[in-house]
Amino acid sequence: MSHDLNIVNAAVDAALPTALTELAEMIAIPSVAAKSDSPMEEGAAKVAELLKKRGFEAELIATFGAPPVVFAQNLSAGPDKPTVLFYNHYDVQPAEPLDLWDSDPWTLRIDGDICYGRGATDDKGHISARLMAIDALLAANNGTLPVNVKFIVEGEEEVTSLHLAQWIDENRDLLDADVTVWEFGGVDHYGTPEIICGLRGIAYLELHVQTIAYDGHSGFIGSLFENAAWRLIWAINSIKGPDGRILIDGHYAPVIPPDDYDRELMEKLPNIEDSLLAEYNMPNFLGDVRGVEAKIQQVFEPTATVCGIGSGWQGEGAKTVLPANAMAKMDFRLVPDMDPETVIAALQKHLIDHGFADVQVHYLGGQRPGRVDPRHPMVKKCIDTARTVYGCEPVVVPLVGGSGPIYPFIKTLGQPVVTCGVGYPGGRAHAPNENLRISDLLLGAKHTAHFMLSLLDA
Amino acid sequence: MSHDLNIVNAAVDAALPTALTELAEMIAIPSVAAKSDSPMEEGAAKVAELLKKRGFEAELIATFGAPPVVFAQNLSAGPDKPTVLFYNHYDVQPAEPLDLWDSDPWTLRIDGDICYGRGATDDKGHISARLMAIDALLAANNGTLPVNVKFIVEGEEEVTSLHLAQWIDENRDLLDADVTVWEFGGVDHYGTPEIICGLRGIAYLELHVQTIAYDGHSGFIGSLFENAAWRLIWAINSIKGPDGRILIDGHYAPVIPPDDYDRELMEKLPNIEDSLLAEYNMPNFLGDVRGVEAKIQQVFEPTATVCGIGSGWQGEGAKTVLPANAMAKMDFRLVPDMDPETVIAALQKHLIDHGFADVQVHYLGGQRPGRVDPRHPMVKKCIDTARTVYGCEPVVVPLVGGSGPIYPFIKTLGQPVVTCGVGYPGGRAHAPNENLRISDLLLGAKHTAHFMLSLLDA
């Protein structure tokens, strides 16, 4: 088995044309988990097909009527060899608003170093990086893999991995491995690789209000009946005021603030303040924080975000209507050791206590936060191989602001989690013109391959 | 000229088949003023065509690039005869939400006594009633009209008659008449005709907020940047609290409360509380008012209504987005002597004073409130002819909750305003399944005809 850096890197480079073709095939399938008519089976089947091409056993496993989970493995390295588990997802966020895309979100468009399309970075581009690493290791090793490899590729990541935790719990043996390689990661604003050691949790919900039986004439009944839009506005206003403090009783009680080592690591993260402010065209951050305080606020603070709200007439012109119904979507980002079920229960109590028993909470799903010790030996291997591939000192990120189903991997499977990613800060995940840099794809694939090889070292 | 009740009534009955055919033709034109691609010219041309058929001079007058005003007149009665001015409108509210209609809103559907369609009562059915009255008077009077008749039929009533006040001001001579017959009216929950003496005013506006440059990932930037939806929610919350009191400085200062005679008239209005509560499926009115206090609250209170709000992801499922933009539509209903320009200016100051300078106010249009003395001789003629036609004592309504451009008719033209309407409380104006009862159409047309004849009496 060759550990030669250059041979493996050349093999990754050689894998690029096939990877881009396959990435285009994946992006062409609009596997939007949030929409019930999306071709989720097709998205799963495509991933299984690409893994089978590489000698994997792969199957689509129905999960309680939800989009299937792709489980695949290639254990040809043998039981004395270590096993890596790749966690990825084939589902994507909705592409709307479509008019803000410069090209069709479901058609891979390559412009120089940049590949555009929904899922280009989140998460189909990461699947491509894994496939390139495998192609390179097979090519450099006479068609066999030096370590055992498992894949779990789900179809509900963008809708809070509704069924994954239970599925993992019921398939612990199947998923046994030495380490999980996470579905994202990549470089920061300065091109430095980030090794990510934790994720916030999330609770996603809808709020619904109905007052009158149907929309009415605001001039006729506007003085007499409650307005569903106002009820919802007042209820949401009671959850968080303009100072940003979440007003649900006990919300901050389980929060574990960053410790000294976390602060030290956060200090070392490069400053992306100016580029963030420029990217979003904002004069300052909330609370006017700067420096390490901004970095800490970005990830160590619980959030309450109104993701959407809708009621009444939103079309052109003046419709004088008293809305009967109103709806909002919210996410709460959770830091260790909050948990979503507790947050939802406290929110329901808060609404009742504040006179909003008429505001219904529909819990759409959630995830617990999870962290790995940044000093874990597997994290060290990930850091070391990143240093080799990227040619610079990686940054170690104790916690990131996004969420994912990391908790069952760490707690249920007991595996350390590492990141070998292809993302960059301009990738516009979840937004129009989502994109992936080919140079990042190559580096991320090389990092993946070298990390896999590093498992063979003591 | 025949004053014989039965001859005129029989002539109105005979006019019904033609009227229903013509109503279907008007409803088939989706003249939604709030939508810029609506066939407004076609709607105006249809009304002009129907009036020309009856010997009127009729023209479409362009109003500053807005939907044209139909002006028509038939002065054949001669200068020694009185003149009646009919004010109506050919524009309608949007039909959405379409899925709540039991049949196509743009196709007149007759089911027994009830005609369904957008505009059936507001206001194309009222145009039909005027045409039937004219047909009946022509038939009963050997093809000539006993009084002079003018029509002003606008196309912007549902978008707060944006250009009408200026147009009236510039065409005072053209519109000279002894009385204006208003565009609505009809019977109450008990079938008793209502003679309406005043309308609330209105200010209609949109609120807009933009924070970040484009929608972002709530997990990545949710702790760092302002959320447009939250900004809008907080701003709207500052305008009115759950107790219903509008919090804009000085908002209530110009309010003239009902006097003793108004209260006496309101007392005499029948109680529609139970039917209103049943219709809207509500347990009680705001503030738990009942009896005359509910009647007074319905019309003599200024209101602030959120007619619509929209931001971020409103589609299916969980999109974890921090919205960059948020928009709301609001109307303020105004009682004498409030005026919309003052309200808008005070709202803008309120938002700035409360820290919401980022919330932009777009004023879409407004109308001043207006009232006629319920003891005016023209109102008495209207009451007397209603008593004859309907066979019961009419109720006199000092003020209704809806709005309309009544102020320029009363103040600019100096005309008393009366109502001879075809509406009823189940007519669902502005809502799905808008409808008109044929029995009300016949009564309203007869009232119109007899009121016109009454102008010839001392």
Residues 6+ apart with CB under 8 A from B110: B20, B116, B438
Nearest residue of A to residue B245, measured between CA atoms? A223
- Chain B closest-CA separation from residue A79 CA (Å): 39
Helices (H) and strands (E) in chain B, counts: 14, 20
Nearest to B219 among A242, A327, A403 (CB): A403
Distance CA A351, CA B280 (A): 24
Distance CA A225, CA A228 (A): 9
pLDDT band at B317 (very low <50, low <70, confident <90, very high): confident
Torsion, Cα A248 A249 A250 A255, to 10 degrees, reads 20
Pairing mode, strands A109-111 and A114-116: antiparallel
B221 touches chain A (CB under 8 A): yes
pLDDT band at B316 (very low <50, low <70, confident <90, very high): confident
Nearest to B222 among A303, A309, A432 (CB): A303
**pLDDT means over runs of 10, chain A (458 residues):** 78 98 98 94 98 97 88 97 98 94 98 98 98 97 95 92 91 96 93 95 96 92 96 98 96 96 92 91 96 94 97 91 97 96 98 98 93 95 97 95 92 96 94 97 98 93
Arithmetic mean of pLDDT, B434-438: 98
Residues 6+ apart with CB under 8 A from B403: A219, A320, B160, B199, B200, B201, B202, B333, B334, B367, B369
Residues 6+ apart with CB under 8 A from A146: A1, A77, A81, A137, A452, A453, A456
CB B198 within 8 A of CB B369: yes
Residue A368, token pair as written in the block: 């617990």
Give the DSSP letter of residue B34.
Answer: T
Distance CA A89, CA A134 (A): 17
Residue of A99, A206, A223, A255 to mutate, testing the B interface (most B Cβ within 10 Å of its Cβ): A223
Nearest residue of B to residue A307, measured between CA atoms? B321
The alpha carbon of B56 is separated from its chain's Cα centroid by a whole number of angstroms, namely 25
Mean pLDDT estimate for chain A: 95
Distance CA A200, CA A302 (A): 8
**Closest Cα partner for B401 from A226, A319, A216, A229?**
A216
Contact criterion met (CB < 8 Å) for B220 and A313: no
**Closest Cα partner for A433 from A111, A126, A100?**
A100
Distance CA B125, CA B17 (A): 13
Convert the pLDDT of each residue in B53-63 to its tens digit: 999 999 999 87
Distance CA B355, CA A355 (A): 26
Distance CA A221, CA B281 (A): 13
- A5-197+372-454 maps to which CATH number? 3.40.630.10
Nearest residue of A to residue B433, measured between CA atoms? A214
Convert the pLDDT of each residue in B127-143 to its tens digit: 999 999 999 999 998 89
Residue A96, token pair as written in the block: 């709307």
Contact criterion met (CB < 8 Å) for B430 and A310: no
Give the DSSP letter of residue A288.
Answer: G
pTM recorded for the entire structure: 0.82
**Closest Cα partner for A167 from A63, A44, A47?**
A63
Fold classification of B200-255+302-367 (topology level):
Alpha-Beta Plaits (3.30.70)
Distance CA B434, CA A42 (A): 45
> What pairs with residue B321 in β-bridges?
B217
Contact criterion met (CB < 8 Å) for B320 and A298: no
- Chain B closest-CA separation from residue A186 CA (Å): 14
pLDDT band at B272 (very low <50, low <70, confident <90, very high): confident
Distance CA B234, CA B242 (A): 13
Helices (H) and strands (E) in chain A, counts: 14, 20
Give the per-residue pLDDT at A55.
96
Task: Give the largest Cα separation in chain A, rounded.
Answer: 81
Looking at the predicted structure, is the pLDDT value of residue B188 above 80? yes
Arithmetic mean of pLDDT, B180-203: 94
- Chain B closest-CA separation from residue A124 CA (Å): 18
Distance CA A160, CA A203 (A): 8
Q: How many CB pairs under 8 A join A and B?
A: 320
Contact criterion met (CB < 8 Å) for A307 and B323: yes
Contact criterion met (CB < 8 Å) for A237 and B240: no
Residues 6+ apart with CB under 8 A from A63: A69, A156, A163, A164, A167
Give the per-residue pLDDT at A227.
97
B200 touches chain A (CB under 8 A): yes
Residue written as tokens 């996410």?
Answer: A331
What are the domain boundaries of chain A? Answer: 5-197+372-454, 201-255+302-367
pLDDT band at B270 (very low <50, low <70, confident <90, very high): confident
Which residues between 233 and 292 in chain B have a beta carbon less than 8 angstroms from any beta carbon of chain A?
A: 233-234, 236-237, 240-242, 276, 279-282, 285-286
The alpha carbon of B406 is separated from its chain's Cα centroid by a whole number of angstroms, namely 10
Contact criterion met (CB < 8 Å) for A285 and B94: no
Q: What is the 3-state secondary structure (H, E, C) of B237-283?
A: HHHECCCCCECCCCCCCCCCCCCHHHHHHHHHCCCCHHHHHHHCCCC
Handedness of CA A168, A171, A175, A178 (dihedral sign): positive
Nearest to B216 among A237, A242, A280 (CB): A280
Same fold: A5-197+372-454 with A201-255+302-367: no
Residue A173, token pair as written in the block: 């043996």
Residues 6+ apart with CB under 8 A from A150: A71, A72, A73, A83, A84, A85, A86, A174, A175, A177
Give the per-residue pLDDT at B1.
47
Handedness of CA A240, A241, A247, A252 (dihedral sign): positive
- A201-255+302-367 maps to which CATH number? 3.30.70.360
Q: What angle do CA A214, B240, A327 make, to 5 degrees?
A: 40
Contact criterion met (CB < 8 Å) for B319 and A94: yes
Q: What angle do CA A174, A180, A181 make, to 5 degrees?
A: 130
Give the per-residue pLDDT at A3.
62
Give the per-residue pLDDT at A377.
96
Nearest residue of B to residue A322, measured between CA atoms? B307
Looking at the predicted structure, is the pLDDT value of residue B2 above 60? no
B314 touches chain A (CB under 8 A): yes
**Closest Cα partner for A87 from A335, A367, A415?**
A415
Arithmetic mean of pLDDT, B82-110: 96
N- to C-terminal Cα distance for chain A? 16
Contact criterion met (CB < 8 Å) for B297 and A224: yes
A318 touches chain B (CB under 8 A): yes
Give the per-residue pLDDT at A184.
94
What type of residue sits at position A310?
Answer: G
Contact criterion met (CB < 8 Å) for B431 and A216: yes
What type of residue sits at position B438?
Answer: I
Nearest residue of A to residue B304, measured between CA atoms? A222
| Chain B residues touching A266 at Cβ < 8 A | none
Give the per-residue pLDDT at B65.
78
Distance CA B230, CA B307 (A): 18
Overall residue count recorded for chain A in this entry: 458
Contact criterion met (CB < 8 Å) for B224 and A97: no
Looking at the predicted structure, is the pLDDT value of residue B239 above 70? yes
Distance CA A14, CA A307 (A): 42
The alpha carbon of B413 is separated from its chain's Cα centroid by a whole number of angstroms, namely 20
Contact criterion met (CB < 8 Å) for A308 and B229: yes
Arithmetic mean of pLDDT, B397-413: 93
Mean pLDDT estimate for chain B: 95
Looking at the predicted structure, is the pLDDT value of residue B393 above 80? yes
Helix (H, G, I), strand (E, B) or coil at A57: strand
